[in-house]
Structure 1
Amino acid sequence: MNTSRLLAAISLGACLLLTSTAFAQEAIPAEQAVRHVGKSGMVCGKVERTRHAQNTEGEPTFLYMGGSFPRHTFSARIPGNIRDSFRPSPEELQGRDICVIGSIERDASRAEIAVNSASDIKLANIR
């Protein structure tokens, strides 16, 4: 490979690396999500409890994180109309580490993300 092609390949690689790094989101611990209300972000933590509110309008499923229910600091709200698109199911996420991507809003004294699609929740490896 000649020098100009090598330099072009290195430049392209560096450009791709910088682009992917610029769009990577920093993980916000569920316990600190309330500090980021009004911003978009990726909140990560262990799902302590799940609850399918079948008798509530929209039949949402809640994933409680950032401490034990009812003293949790964060919840992800999954609307009932997209509940069936989750694999694993929302209830199977209990006890697992996940990251939720979206707009962080306030719900009482807690932070919450209203989940728009199954792709907004990712299984995570949190140490």
Structure 2
Amino acid sequence: MIHRTSRLLALLILGTSAAGAFAQDAIRPEQAARHVGQTGMVCGKVEKTRYAENSEGQPTFLHMGGAFPRHTFSARISQDQRGKFKPSPEELEGRDVCVVGTIQRDASRAEIAVSSPGDIKLAQIK
């Protein structure tokens, strides 16, 4: 049932045209570390956002799969992409999203480096 629900959520989020381009199953944030090195679509609730303005590159993180610092997955938005997001990354906190990209490992967590706002899709409630 969870697998079927994840796929349905992914199709609702991405819509018909994008779903064809990303014909893959949604990965829960807690499962993302099992897919390191693969291109995937991680879907879940953004538990916390964090703008690391004092860190190198000033990235913004969307933490999913648990509350920071015990989260299991992060989407990392580079400073040069941050201003392109509508809604802003901070407005994504508490919302369900899917993040598409290559899943990497960052310490003990999985991460996707977001290359454009198109890599993150909001859930569309009907």
TM-score by length of 1: 0.80
Alpha-carbon distance change, 52 to 40 in structure 1, aligned in 2, over 3 angstroms: same
Q: In the aligned structure 2, how far is the partner of 1:108 from the partner of 1:34?
A: 11
Q: In the aligned structure 2, how far is the partner of 1:66 from the partner of 1:28?
A: 11
List 4+ stretches of structure 1 deviating above 3 A: 20-23
**Aligned match of 2:73:** 74
Alignment length (residue pairs)? 108
Q: Cα offset for 1:25? A: 2.1
**Aligned match of 2:97:** 98
**Aligned match of 2:29:** 30
Alpha-carbon distance change, 122 to 23 in structure 1, aligned in 2, over 3 angstroms: closer
Q: How does 1:8-87 map to 2 (within 5 A)?
A: 23-87=22-86
Highest CA radius of gyration, 1 or 2?
1
* Counterpart AA for 1:88: P
Identity of aligned residues (%): 71
TM-score by length of 2: 0.81
Indicate the RMSD between aligned Cα atoms, in angstroms: 1.8
Question: SS state of the match for residue 32, structure 1?
Answer: helix
Gaps of 5+ in 2: 1-18
Q: In the aligned structure 1, how far is the partner of 2:78 from the partner of 2:97?
A: 18
Q: Cα offset for 1:21? A: 5.2
